[in-house]
Amino acid sequence: MRVTDKMSQNQVLTNIQKNRSELSQLQNQAATMKRITKPSDDPVAASKVLVNRTENKNLEQFEKNIFFARNFLETTETTLSQLSEAVVRAKELAVQAASDTNGGLPREMLSTEVGQIYNAVLEISNRRSGERFLFGGQKTLSQPFTAEGEYSGDDGEIRIENQKGNFVALNLTGDRIFLGKGMGEDSFIKPSRETPKSVDELQQHKLAEADRQFQNEQEDENKLETRGPASVGRVQRLGDVDPVIGGKGVNLFNLISGLEVAMKANDKFGIQDALEPLDQALNQINMARAEIGGRVVQLNAASEGIQRSIVDNKQTISQLEDADLFQVMTDLNRSDAALKGSLETSHKLMSMSLLDFLR
C-alpha cells in the first residue's frame, strides 16, 4: 500500500488531536476532581447520579417538613404542660375548698384564683405558634375559642409528608383537648374511606353516614348529667367512662367556671363533685400529650432514616462521579508524554521537503 504525504499529514493531525483531547479531559478531571462532568462521559453513571441527586433533594424537603412539624408539636406539648399545671392547681384549690376547715370567706378567696386559672386556660387555648393558632384545627388564622369557651375552629388535621406516601398530623384540635370531644378515639391514623364508584354506592355511603350520626346523637342523649358546682351555670356533662380507657372527655371551661361558682356560693358538695372531673380532665390532657410524644418519636425516627439515606446517596454519587486523583495524575503524565512524542515525531516528518530527498 502506497502511503502518500497527505495520508501521513492526516494521520499526524489525528494523533495530535486525540492526544490533546485526552489531555484536556484529564486536566478537567484534575481541576474538578470529577470523573463525570457531562452526561457523554458515562451515560449510565450520569443517569444514576441524577437519580440520586433528585432523591436527595426530595429527602431534604422531607427533612424541612419534619423540622417544621417537630417545632409545632414541641410548642404544643409545652403549652399542654402549662395547661396540665393549671388543672393540677385547680385540683389543689378544690381539695382545700372541700375541707370543712375552709368555709365562708376562705372559699370565696380561693374562687378568685380559680377565676384566674380559667383566664389562663382560655389564654392557653388561643396560644399561637408564629402567626398560626395551635388548637384551631385547619382554621389556623382565626381565634378558636371565645371568652365563654365556645369553639369556633374545626376538627381538621394539618398533615405533612415526612416520607414518600407517609403523612403525620402535626396538630390536635381544641375541641378534643379543651372540650373532650372524641378523646377516646384515635385520630392519629384514620382509616381511609373508599370513594363511591356508582350512584348506588354513593347512596349507601350517605345512608351509612346518617345512621352513624344518629347513633352518636343517641349516645350523647344517654350520657349521665351530673350536678354542676353550686347548681349554678351550665350543666357539666361527664362521660360514663374515663378518657384513659376510652370514654368521653370533660369540658374544661365548664368545669373550672362551675368550680369557681361553687366556691363563691360556699357549696361544699358542689366543690366535691368537681374533684373527679378534674382528674378526668388531667387524664384527658396527659393522653393528648402522650399522642404528641408518639408523633415526635415517629418524626425523629423518620429524620434519622432520612439522614442515613442522604449519606448513602452521597456515597453512591461519590463512587460514580468522583475521580481517582492518583489515577488521574498518572494518566495525565502519560498523556502529556504521548503528546510531546507526537509533536516531536510530526516535526521531524513534516519538516522534510523535496530538497531533502534530492540530497
Q: What is the pLDDT of residue 60?
A: 92
pLDDT of residue 21: 76
Residues paired with residue 169 on neighbouring β-strands, in sequence order: 159
> Cα-flanking dihedrals φ and ψ of residue 267, to 5°?
-100, 100
When pLDDT is cut at 50, 70 and 90, the band that residue 252 belongs to is very high
Give whole-number Cα distances, 49 to 29, 38, 95, 105, in Å: 17, 11, 68, 78
Is pLDDT above 50 for 118? yes
**Vertex 70 angle, CA 65 and 71, to 5°:** 100
pLDDT tens per residue, range 12-56: 777 777 777 777 777 777 777 787 777 877 888 888 888 988 999
User: Measured between alpha carbons, how far is residue 337 from residues 327, 341, 344 in Å?
Assistant: 15, 6, 11
Predicted confidence band at 196 (pLDDT cuts at 50, 70, 90)? very low
Residues 6+ apart with CB under 8 A from 257: 118, 149, 233, 234
Instruction: Indicate whether this model's pTM tops 0.75.
Output: no
Q: At residue 252, what are phi and psi to the nearest 5 degrees?
A: -65, -40
Q: Helix H segments across the chain?
A: 5-32, 43-98, 105-125, 174-177, 199-221, 252-264, 268-273, 275-321, 325-350, 354-358
Work out the mean pLDDT of the chain and round it to a whole number.
78
Largest pairwise CA distance in the chain:
138
Q: What is the pLDDT of residues 281-324, one digit of tens each?
A: 999 999 999 999 999 999 999 999 999 999 998 888 888 887 76
Tell me the pLDDT tens digit for each residue of 127-141.
998 889 999 988 989
> In sequence order, what are the residues at sequence separation of 6 or more whose Cβ sits closer than 8 angstroms to the Cβ of residue 230?
258, 261, 262, 264, 265, 267, 270
Distance CA 52, CA 4 (A): 53
The per-residue pLDDT for 226 is 41
User: Tell me, what's the pLDDT at 233?
Assistant: 39
SS3 55: helix
Q: Residue 271 has which C-alpha cell?
A: 366543690
Fold designation for 55-190+225-311: f41 fragment of flagellin, N-terminal domain (1.20.1330)
For the chain, what are the domain ranges? 55-190+225-311, 325-352
Listed residue (224, 136, 216) closest to 182, CA to CA: 216
Would you state the cell numbers that stand for residue 182, as one nine-digit string? 372524641
C-beta separation of 9 from 350 below 8 A: yes
What 3-state DSSP class applies to 345? helix
Q: Which helix (H) or strand (E) holds 162?
A: strand 159-163
Distances (CA, A) of 194 to 177, 191, 197, 205, 213: 29, 10, 9, 10, 19
Confidence of residue 201 (pLDDT cuts 50, 70, 90): low
pLDDT per position as a tens digit, 141-162:
999 999 988 999 888 888 988 8
Closest of 261, 114, 236 to residue 179, by C-alpha:
236
